[in-house]
Structure 1
């Protein structure tokens, strides 16, 4: 039986919730990014558990005309492996399409390639610049 997740677009998220979720997966908290990040997003998606805790989050940024960039697909470790990540990505892609975008890009580590391919992404060459 396939689980149905009620992932919401642009749900209310408190400033500490995404940093807590980032920390749960071993990422830097980046507390200063919130709530400013929401002002720069085209939209975001979130899922809460039965207790109301944020357990999944991701967002799309970019010009929003034809192209968007998917960022920070996060699922709390206690909920990984249940299809939530795939459902979150699909929700973001569906919303992108509703808003007229025909291209969504994402950058991922090689270990996550099969996940993103299963979500419909085609790997391609690209580059990343980072401030030194």
Structure 2
């Protein structure tokens, strides 16, 4: 695949939710297009048929710190280096816009992937609203 990961790739609102569902996540259709308006930047990749196959974003105040989320690669394109390229592209953009810290949370089974992509594992916490 010779396509390039693009910062702020034009994306139709339902493309990301459909990609989320392909990897087994909730689509969160109501989050889009609002997410594009509120995050600092995103990155995406399309295949030769113009189908969205990778997506991720960084959100935050745009000052010193950003939070990376939703690193998604279509199941048919996983294990080909696309995810790592996506993360690195987002980190390059974070550096370009002056972010000094980017954090994310991930399942421990992905520690090697994120370490290889430039992150240092550290402890943290999670608060979740009770339904």
2:103 pairs, out of 97, 102, 105, with: 105
Which whole-Å CA distance do the structure 2 matches of 1:65 and 1:37 have between them? 18
Report 1:1-132 matches (<5 A).
Answer: 5-132=3-130
Aligned length: 130
Residue range with higher mean Cα deviation, 100-109 or 4-13: 4-13
Query: Structure 1 residue 11: deviation in Å?
Result: 1.2
TM-score (norm 2): 0.96
Cα RMSD after superposing both structures: 1.0
Which whole-Å CA distance do the structure 2 matches of 1:73 and 1:60 have between them? 10
Look up the SS of the partner of 2:69 in the other structure: strand
TM-score (norm 1): 0.96
Counterparts in 2 of 1:118 and 1:4: CA distance versus 1, 3 Å: farther
For residues 38-76 of structure 1, the C-alpha deviation after alignment (integer angstroms, 9 at most, x for no partner) is 111000000000000000000000011111100000000
Task: Mark the runs of 5 or more structure 2 residues left unpaired by the alignment.
Answer: none
Q: Is contact 1:5–1:87 with CA below 8 Å preserved after alignment? A: no
Query: Structure 1 residue 15: deviation in Å?
Result: 1.1
Task: Mark the runs of 5 or more structure 1 residues left unpaired by the alignment.
Answer: none
Q: Structure 1 stretches (4+) deviating beyond 3 angstroms?
A: none
Look up the SS of the partner of 2:119 in the other structure: coil
Query: Structure 1 residue 120: deviation in Å?
Result: 1.2
